[in-house]
Amino acid sequence: MRRLRAVKDKTARYFMLGIAIFTILFLLAIGLSLFFKALPIMKEKNLWVLLTSSDWKPFKGDFGFLPFILSTFYVSLIAIIIALPFSILTSIYLNSYASKTVKRFFEPVIDLLSGIPPVIYGIWGTLTIVPLIANKIAPVFVEFSSGYTVLAGGIVLAVMIIPLLISIMVEVFRSIPKEMIDASLSMGATRWQTVKKVILRKSISGIIAATVLALSRAFGETMAVLMVCGNITQIPHSIFDACYPLPALIANNYGEMLSLPSYESALMFSAFLLFIIVVLFNGISRFTLNQIEKRYQF
C-alpha cells in the first residue's frame, strides 16, 4: 500500500517534469521549424536584399519584403500613437481617481474589449471607420482615398491593443508603494501633481515595457487589419494609402502557393521574421515587467 502511493507520486512527478520541459522546448521547436522552412529563400537570396528590396514578383522570383515590413511598421505605429494617450489617461484614472464602483464597472469593459474576436473588429472597421475615412477625413487632405488605408488599420488596431495596455499599466501603477503616494499627498500636492511627479516618474520603465508589448501584439494581428487596410503591395506614402502588412500577406497567400517552393519559403520567411521580432519584443518587455513586480514586493 505504501509502495503504491510512493510509485504514484513518483510517476506523477516525472510526467509533470516532462510537460514542463516540453513547454520550454516548444518555443524552440516553433522557431527552428520556421527557420528551416525559411532557409531555402535565405540561401537563394541575400538576406539584405530580401529585407530592403521592394520588388515583389513571386512568379519571377523577386521577393522584396520592404513594402510589407514598412506597412506593418506604419500601421502599428499609428495604432500605438492613438492608443497610448487613451490608455495612460484611463489607467491613471482607474488607479488614482475612480471609486470602487467605477473600477468594478470598468473591469468587464476591458475584458470584453480584449475578448471581442478580430473578425468582429474587422467588420466594425469596414462598416464605420473605412467609410468615415473615405467620405469625411481623407477628402480634407487628399483627392481620393478608398478608405481602406493605413489609417483605418491603425485605428482598428488601436482599439484592439487598448485593453492590453490598460491592464498592464494598471498593474504597473498598482506596484508603486502606497507610502510614496501618501508622502506626496501629505506634502500638499494635488492628486494630479502626485500622478505627474511620483506615479508617472516611477513607472516610466513599466509604461515603456507595456508599449513594446502592445507593439508586438500589433505586429502580429492578422484578420482585423487584413479586412481594413486594402492589401495592395506598395510602400505607403501617406496614411491615406492602402498597405499590406506581413500577417495579411501570409494569410492571403499561404496554402495556395505550395506549387512554387520558393514562394512557400518566402512566406515562411515572413512568418519567421514575425516570430523573431515578437519573441524579442516580448522577451524584453516581460523581463522588465517582472523586474518591476519584484522590486516592489515586500
Partner 1 sequence: MIMKQLEEKIFKVIMICAAIVILGVLVFIISTVFYKGLPALTLDMITKLPGGGFYLGKEGGVLNAIAGSVYIILGALAISIVISVPLVMYINFYLPLNSFFSAAIRFSLDILFGIPSIVYGAFGFALMVYLGVRASLLGGILTVAMLIMPIMMRSFDEITRLLSHDLPDALLSLGATKFEMVKVLMRQLMPGLVTAILLAIGRGIGDAATVLFTAGYTDNIPASLNQPAATLPLSIFFQLGSPVEEVQNRAYASAIILTVIILILSFSARYFSSKFSKNKI
- Rounded Cα–Cα distance for residues 123 and 110 (Å): 20
Among 174, 183, 261, 287, binds partner 1 (CB under 8 A): 287
Q: Whose CA is closest to 164, among 105, 213, 223? A: 213
Shortest spacing between CB 175 and partner 1, in angstroms: 15
Shortest spacing between CB 102 and partner 1, in angstroms: 8
Closer of 67 and 247 to partner 1 (Cβ): 247
Contact positions with partner 1 (CB under 8 A) in 184-203: 190-193, 195
257 part of the interface to partner 1, by CB under 8 A: no
Closer of 55 and 256 to partner 1 (Cβ): 256
The residue with cell 518555443 is: 27
Closer of 232 and 278 to partner 1 (Cβ): 278
Stretch that binds partner 1, among 42-50, 133-141, 168-176, 243-251 (CB under 8 A): 243-251
Contact positions with partner 1 (CB under 8 A) in 57-86: 85-86
Closer of 77 and 98 to partner 1 (Cβ): 98
12 part of the interface to partner 1, by CB under 8 A: yes
Stretch that binds partner 1, among 14-22, 40-48, 49-57, 143-151 (CB under 8 A): 14-22
Say how many residues touch partner 1, by CB under 8 A.
85
Shortest spacing between CB 13 and partner 1, in angstroms: 6
**Per-residue string for binding with partner 1, 123-162, x by CB under 8 A?**
xx-xxx------------------------------x--x
Contact positions with partner 1 (CB under 8 A) in 29-58: 30, 33-34, 37
User: Do 126 and 228 touch, CB atoms closer than 8 A?
Assistant: yes
Shortest spacing between CB 4 and partner 1, in angstroms: 10
Among 76, 148, 211, 217, binds partner 1 (CB under 8 A): 217
Q: Which residues of 255-272 are buried (b: 16+ CB within 10 A; e: fewer)?
A: eebeeeebbbbbbbbbbb
278 part of the interface to partner 1, by CB under 8 A: yes
Among 40, 58, 61, 220, binds partner 1 (CB under 8 A): 220
User: Do 88 and 173 touch, CB atoms closer than 8 A?
Assistant: no
Q: Could you tell me the CA-to-CA distances from 77 to 152, 188, 202, 212 in Å, in that order?
A: 13, 39, 25, 11
100 part of the interface to partner 1, by CB under 8 A: no
Shortest spacing between CB 143 and partner 1, in angstroms: 27
Shortest spacing between CB 240 and partner 1, in angstroms: 22
Shortest spacing between CB 126 and partner 1, in angstroms: 8
User: Do 194 and 185 touch, CB atoms closer than 8 A?
Assistant: yes
